[in-house]
Amino acid sequence: MKMNNTQIAIPFVNLNFQHQLIQNQLQQAIQAVLEQGDFILGKALADFEAAFAAACGTEYGVGVASGTDAIALGLQACKIGFGDEVILPVNTFVATLIGVLRAGAKPIFVDCDPRTALIDLEAAARAITSKTKAIIPVHLYGQMVSPKQLLDLADTYKLLIFEDAAQAHLAEREGYRAGSVGIAAAFSFYPSKNLGGVGDGGMLVTRDPDVAQTMIRLRNYGASQKYFHTESGTNSRLDTIQAAVLHQKLPYLAQWNHDRLQIAQDYDTELAPLAANGIIPIENHSGEGHVYHLYVMRICDSCPVERSEIQAQLMAAGIQTGIHYPIPCHLQPAFAELGYQVGDFPHAEMLAKQILSLPMYPGLSNSQVKEISSAIAAELPTHLPVAI
């Protein structure tokens, strides 16, 4: 693989490992849908919806076209809309914000905990008003927001919990699995997710039958039956072929998540000597329940080398990296009308300048982790030796 005339030795994401493992199964599943011909709302979709909901510890799953639609339509299905305030972390992918806006609700940003990058629930409590209807905890990078703290907050202030679990397939914390904490949760099946399709896709999972039935109508033009429309819905359905692929991958997800955890632990070990130079991984407060969709480290102000230099030198060595995310939601030009400005959320703004995501995917070897860590250490003017 080449990028900008640089030979890529270690890509940021590599899906070949998992696809080669089950190539025959994927081909057979796709062929079965082709032969059945039920490309829209077919049997494979219903089967996958039931299986994924059960895996999340919920009763119902409704497949939609994307994770963004799962948020937007899911909030509508939970009767959240115009006049309602929804609290969400400013440190998230913009899809969370877009989902709130599409539902017609007013987004209320709060800052994050710089150690974990997750929503600051104390800041969330301070942001609650008489119009606050819901809170969206974003289970960022594969780590859940504390379910116990969320449930205490929701109970105290009578809020709905709507989880953004797009990066947290089968993540666990405090005895809860992602998707089972609130009234509903949105997942994405974008190809690079822990459970990814071969195109866009998403799902809402819920324990509430009314939410599920409303979601089923909203994703299909608001129709309760063909040509009879009870709500103003849209066309947002998870394709049957995508569902068939995802269903084949689902039984392997737990092992792939375990592999990610092991890779993260290898990174932690290799990067530990660099802490004195301001290289600090985002903290894991979930133990083995963290599913590491991304492995993110901070290049703190005390580091003698700029993030851009480290990233450029890694690229020169054929190692791809990413930044999740370089501009917090409140500073995105498209949403200037929300009225936020620089300095409103200092932790998120600080992290945006510090974070760097390293390659993370099942199949990444320990020797590659050592190579990446050594390449980072090599850019520092003073550092302890890294084991090779």
List residues with catalytic annotation. Answer: 193
Q: Are 293 and 139 contacting, i.e. CB atoms less than 8 angstroms apart?
A: no
**Which CATH number does 17-251 carry?**
3.40.640.10
**For residue 331, what pLDDT is reported?**
98
pTM comes to 0.96
Tens digit of pLDDT for each residue in 225-262? 999 999 999 999 999 999 999 999 999 999 999 999 99
Tens digit of pLDDT for each residue in 46-77? 999 999 999 999 999 999 999 999 999 999 99
Q: Detail the DSSP E strand segments found in 210-286.
A: 223-225, 228-229, 279-281
Query: Sorting pLDDT into bands at 50, 70 and 90, what band is 3?
Result: low
Mean pLDDT of 342-355: 98
Calpha distance 216→225 (Å, rounded): 11
Read off the tokens for 281: 């991984």
Select from 217, 132, 135, 200 the least CA-distant residue to 166. 200
Superfamily (CATH) of domain 253-378: Aspartate Aminotransferase, domain 1 (3.90.1150.10)
Domain definitions of the chain by residue range: 17-251, 253-378
Q: Are 246 and 48 contacting, i.e. CB atoms less than 8 angstroms apart?
A: yes
